[in-house]
């Protein structure tokens, strides 16, 4: 397939990914059973983002215009170890490899296998030539490059085994919000989506807020309580009870609205059901704190958009030009 054929295939694929219709709806039900963190609501959010932002022909063309892509296939074998923190997390990497004209050798995480298999099957159904450019494997072998995201519990493993190959090896990042105390009720409600979407498990989710001295946390908690039903999810409520019990036993001061716990902690990353907060004394202090944690931060949310902050309520939306860990995999794929 030449480049135009690849783009057209992705555009056609968008029409096959309607989460309100069969057979995808049945696949989503299976995915939820296999991985209870993949609720139907969260699957729909991921699928709609892919349809609207990854598979839109105009957006694809605007994105790839920034790179020198060959019209004919390069046929380098690129190993992909897909992340699983939200439904179809690794599809951006697959799309990048596909558009670059390389061959994707994919190790699918068991937690996301149902949806990723469906995505690939639909690509092959639209154009059987895709069989030659997508390989699903249990073990990586004979590849020319590797793209993978490493979690904390296997830190250093990927570097040890794949570091000798051309690679994009990423650590999982998280996102933070900057509040100034003037946020409206509506803005805080939108921010709640950035905290709770995907149970806070994706790199776009807010795990820490920077707040000015004397910040009113009661107003904050009152305005992010529309996700109270999240307590009915067994996995989430187990996390909430476990981490709050630790805080109670250690006599660590914290605040809660019974669905979210906030605690003062300088770390950018927090556990599920927890959001850390840190005070700042002024703009210089804030920028210094953000700079120190820059390598851990995927996004910064806030109302001051001219500073480059992401608007509240946008965690579920990823653009093609946004890369996990801010590492440009498409640039890597054009030069390998």
Range of the domain at 288: 174-307
Q: How far is CA 230 from CA 30, 48, 142, 199, 280, in A?
A: 21, 21, 44, 8, 30
- Please count the structural domains in the chain: 2
**What local confidence, expressed as pLDDT, does residue 279 receive?**
97
Asked, for residue 330, whether it belongs to a domain, the answer is no
Per-residue pLDDT band at 18 (split at 50, 70, 90): very high
Specify the CATH number for the domain of residue 278. 3.40.309.10
Assess whether 155 and 182 both reside in one domain.
Answer: no
Assess whether 202 and 293 both reside in one domain.
Answer: yes
- Are 260 and 180 in contact by the 8 Å Cβ rule? The answer is no
Q: Phi/psi at 162 (nearest 5 deg)?
A: -115, -5
Residues 198, 196: Cα–Cα separation, whole Å: 6
- Are 75 and 105 in contact by the 8 Å Cβ rule? The answer is no
Of 105, 140, 172, the one marking the end of a domain is 172
Assess whether 42 and 79 both reside in one domain.
Answer: yes
- Could you report the per-residue pLDDT of 293-319, keeping only the tens digit for each? 999 999 999 998 777 899 999 999 999
Per-residue pLDDT band at 154 (split at 50, 70, 90): low
- Could you report the per-residue pLDDT of 217-265, keeping only the tens digit for each? 988 888 887 787 898 899 999 999 999 999 999 999 999 998 999 999 9
Asked, for residue 333, whether it belongs to a domain, the answer is no
Above pLDDT 70, what percent of the chain? 98
**What local confidence, expressed as pLDDT, does residue 84 receive?**
85
In three-state secondary structure terms, 191 is: helix
Number of other CB atoms surrounding residue 101 within 10 Å: 21
Asked, for residue 328, whether it belongs to a domain, the answer is no
């Amino acid at each position: 397939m030449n480049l135009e054929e690849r783009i057209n295939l992705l555009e056609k694929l968008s029409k096959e990914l309607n989460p309100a219709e069969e057979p995808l709806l049945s696949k989503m039900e299976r995915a939820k059973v296999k991985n209870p963190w993949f609720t139907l609501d969260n699957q729909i959010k991921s699928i709609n983002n892919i349809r609207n932002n990854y598979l839109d022909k105009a957006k694809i063309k605007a994105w790839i215009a920034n790179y020198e892509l060959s019209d004919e296939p390069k046929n380098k074998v690129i190993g992909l170890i897909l992340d699983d923190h939200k439904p179809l997390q690794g599809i951006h990497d697959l799309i990048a490899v596909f558009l670059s004209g390389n061959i994707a050798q994919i190790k699918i995480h068991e937690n996301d296998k149902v949806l990723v298999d469906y995505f690939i099957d639909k690509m092959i159904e639209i154009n059987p030539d895709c069989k030659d450019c997508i390989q699903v494997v249990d073990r990586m072998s004979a590849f020319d490059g590797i793209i993978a995201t490493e979690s904390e519990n296997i830190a250093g493993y990927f570097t040890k085994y794949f570091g000798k190959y051309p690679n994009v090896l990423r650590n999982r990042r998280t996102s933070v919000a900057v509040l100034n105390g003037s946020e409206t009720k509506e803005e805080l409600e939108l921010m709640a989506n950035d905290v709770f979407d995907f149970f806070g498990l994706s790199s776009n989710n807010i795990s820490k807020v920077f707040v000015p001295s004397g910040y009113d946390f009661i107003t904050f908690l009152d305005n992010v309580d529309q996700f109270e039903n999240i307590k009915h999810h067994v996995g989430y409520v187990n996390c909430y009870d476990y981490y709050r019990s630790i805080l109670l036993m250690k006599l660590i001061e914290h605040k809660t609205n019974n669905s979210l716990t906030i605690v003062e902690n300088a770390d950018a990353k927090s556990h599920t059901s927890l959001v850390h907060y840190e005070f700042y004394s002024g703009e210089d202090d804030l920028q210094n704190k953000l700079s120190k944690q820059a390598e851990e931060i995927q996004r910064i949310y806030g109302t001051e958009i001219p500073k480059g902050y992401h608007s509240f309520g946008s965690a579920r939306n990823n653009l093609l030009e946004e890369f996990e860990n801010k590492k440009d995999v498409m640039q890597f794929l054009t030069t390998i």
